[in-house]
Structure 1
Amino acid sequence: MFFTNLQLYRLPAPWAFSPEQLEAALAPYSFTPAGSNELLRQGWDKPRPNGGLVHVLNKQMLILLGTEKKLLPATVINQVAKARAAEMEEAQGFAPGKKAMKDLKERVADELLPRAFTIRSNTWTWIDPVNGWLVVNAASPAKADEVIKLLLKAVDRMPLESLRVQRSPMAVMTEWLTADDAPAGFTVDMDTELRATGESKAAVRYVKHSLDPEEVRRHIAAGKQCNRLALTWDSKISFILTESLAIKGVKPLDVINEKESSVKNDEERFDCEFALMTGELAKLIGDVVLALGGFADEGCQNADRQAA
């Protein structure tokens, strides 16, 4: 159950909020299936069957946002409404006006909603109170925002912040490509994207393609900067670092997969994977932040100390 896309947020380290407190806070917002006339329903669900809303292992916490959404395409509503409008025109001798059509579409949507297909999706969130991380397994910030919005509603005054680092990820990744050298513990892989910062927004993308240092430098000299870069950390995990500090396409390599292979029981396998994931990803995230100059607020604190 390795997370594949990491949207990163900071908590105070250590975060003095127990699993029991979190469980109690999430309980009023627990997941229940959507009713027949509901288009969307979200709530906190159990990460493990027969468990609680907070799964805990080695002080690491795992929570799960469940979402049920009804599929009711506008094309279907319009098609049925059009047929109904034709019947009305035949019966009354004239076509319904704009307001009547709007009301008709709303009635059709209400009629079709109970018969619409339901799609269930899960968004996993890992909370590391020891190192001060909240990590949402989501490909987009918008999906992560759904988790954060409901979490802040449940946990009063939760001290959650966006991740900020001292140096621009785009500038630092561009430097690595210019020097053809990654920071200690990392290697550059074969996927990257270089994008112009001017009005043209011209971009060059390499996908599973060896990076020719001279060719890359020419693109950089022409005004492009790196906004996505594939890296491998400590020969254990490959991923893509983005300009927005998202870590995407996370893949554990063989050295980690081999540690899981001897575990057969489903519950043991789940906990083994969770322990491995949290242990390794906490180190990876820490090294990424360090490679980008550290936390932005640490830079401010250092400057304050020097001024004093």
Structure 2
Amino acid sequence: MFPKQITPFILTEKLPSADVLNQKLATMPFVPVTGLDWFSEGFTPPAAFSPDLVFAADKTVSVCLKRETKQIPSSALKEILRERVADIETTQNRKVGRKEKQEIKEQIIDELLPKALSASIYSHAVFNSQFAFVYESSPKKAENVISKMREALGGLACKTIQTKMPSKAAMTNWVLRGEVGFSLQLDNYCLLKGVGEVAPTIKIQNKDLNSDEVQQHIKNGLEVKELGLIWREQIAFVLTENFTLKRIQFLDMLQQEAEQHGDDAASLQFAQQLISSANITQLLNELILLCGDLNQDEF
């Protein structure tokens, strides 16, 4: 599976072997949510064709954290609450106060939870010798995957990417000068925002970022929060101020390379995992250098 979004982390210690990792994750397996619980999460096989909790491809491993959450529509909850409050006020000829309403609401939730439908979210992550790639663009969701890995392993030495020059400043400079560097070039998208809570936000799409309009926005004090980039004409993506990669597209050359090595589901996943890990690693290393290298004070 090629990722659509990634929050990367720097690994500062080597992971255990795939076999040991599989044993550790087995202590925290996913179990369906039951009873009055709102949610359940745990590790589940990252590959549909295997029961293993770890899929190894050469020197990379992938894992998957599954979260199942019960869902009670707020409109249904409000309607049942309204009916019960109205019934009490009518039959007992008294007003229902705020505290009692909250107690009735909690009773309704307890009644509905065991019968409520659930929704599942799968968060995949790939680890190599240098990085952990969590296939989430939300820092909160990505941190949760890393937190669960730490819990299962008894510790995991990794940190978010912090560069000497913040990515926001670097992206603004790239757009202002009309070029990036190394194997990266500007695409046709950026998100600009001024300084302050009420500052304007401007989205530029399908437009030359060297245009006078975009340049003037930056000269007026707006900063680049998100920037579309292309790496080696093989991967298109959007870099954010949090150093996450969104809307990743592996272009035809890499897609075809994976397909040539993928005779079945297992070999295809093997190829995709290796290709995506190797290329994203090179891409990130170039981005880090373009942002002045890693901030060693954070390590």
Query: What TM-score results when the alignment is normalised by the length of structure 2?
Result: 0.92
Worse overlay, 84-93 or 28-37? 84-93
Q: How far, CA to CA, are the matches of 1:123 and 1:280 in structure 2?
A: 21
Residue type at the aligned position of 1:166: K
| 2:279 equivalent in structure 1 | 280
Report the secondary structure of 2:157's partner residue.
coil
Report the CA distance shift for 1:225/1:99 in structure 2 as closer, same or farther (over 3 A): closer
Report the CA distance shift for 1:198/1:241 in structure 2 as closer, same or farther (over 3 A): same
Q: How far, CA to CA, are the matches of 1:16 and 1:34 in structure 2?
A: 30
Task: Note if contact 1:89-1:95 (Cα within 8 Å) is conserved in structure 2.
Answer: yes
| 1:227 equivalent in structure 2 | 225
Counterpart mapping for 1:1-308 below 5 A: 1-12=1-12, 15-48=14-47, 49-128=49-128, 130=129, 132-198=130-196, 200-262=198-260, 263-297=262-296
Q: How far, CA to CA, are the matches of 1:157 and 1:94 in structure 2?
A: 57
Q: Percent of pairs identical after alignment?
A: 23
Shift, 1:249, TM fit: 1.0
Shift, 1:283, TM fit: 1.3
1:280-305 alpha-carbon deviations (Å, 9 max, x no partner): 111111111122121111x899xxxx
Task: Note if contact 2:228-2:239 (Cα within 8 Å) is conserved in structure 1.
Answer: yes
Q: How far, CA to CA, are the matches of 2:23 and 2:53 in structure 1?
A: 9
Report the CA distance shift for 1:96/1:230 in structure 2 as closer, same or farther (over 3 A): same
Task: Note if contact 1:23-1:52 (Cα within 8 Å) is conserved in structure 2.
Answer: yes
Residue type at the aligned position of 1:207: Q
Shift, 1:264, TM fit: 4.0
Task: Note if contact 2:209-2:215 (Cα within 8 Å) is conserved in structure 1.
Answer: no
Residue type at the aligned position of 1:148: I
Residue type at the aligned position of 2:136: A
Residue type at the aligned position of 1:196: G
Report the secondary structure of 1:119's partner residue.
strand
Q: How far, CA to CA, are the matches of 2:259 and 2:21 in structure 1?
A: 32
Residue type at the aligned position of 1:82: R
Task: Note if contact 1:46-1:63 (Cα within 8 Å) is conserved in structure 2.
Answer: yes
1:17-60 alpha-carbon deviations (Å, 9 max, x no partner): 22233222222211011114321010011112433111111110
- Gaps in structure 1 of 5+ consecutive residues: 302-308
Displacement over 6 Å in runs of 4+: none
Report the secondary structure of 1:112's partner residue.
helix
Q: How far, CA to CA, are the matches of 1:276 and 1:300 in structure 2?
A: 29
Shift, 1:200, TM fit: 4.5
Q: How far, CA to CA, are the matches of 1:261 and 1:284 in structure 2?
A: 22
Q: What is the alpha-carbon root mean square deviation over aligned residues?
A: 2.0
Task: Note if contact 1:229-1:242 (Cα within 8 Å) is conserved in structure 2.
Answer: yes
Report the secondary structure of 1:50's partner residue.
coil
Report the secondary structure of 1:29's partner residue.
coil
Q: How far, CA to CA, are the matches of 1:57 and 1:115 in structure 2?
A: 41
- The total of aligned residue pairs comes to 297
Report the secondary structure of 1:101's partner residue.
helix
Task: Note if contact 1:44-1:65 (Cα within 8 Å) is conserved in structure 2.
Answer: yes
- Gaps in structure 2 of 5+ consecutive residues: none
Report the secondary structure of 1:28's partner residue.
coil
Report the secondary structure of 2:121's partner residue.
strand
Q: How far, CA to CA, are the matches of 1:289 and 1:216 in structure 2?
A: 25
Shift, 1:199, TM fit: 5.7
Residue type at the aligned position of 1:267: A
Shift, 1:16, TM fit: 4.8
Q: How far, CA to CA, are the matches of 1:99 and 1:216 in structure 2?
A: 54
Q: How far, CA to CA, are the matches of 2:293 and 2:117 in structure 1?
A: 47
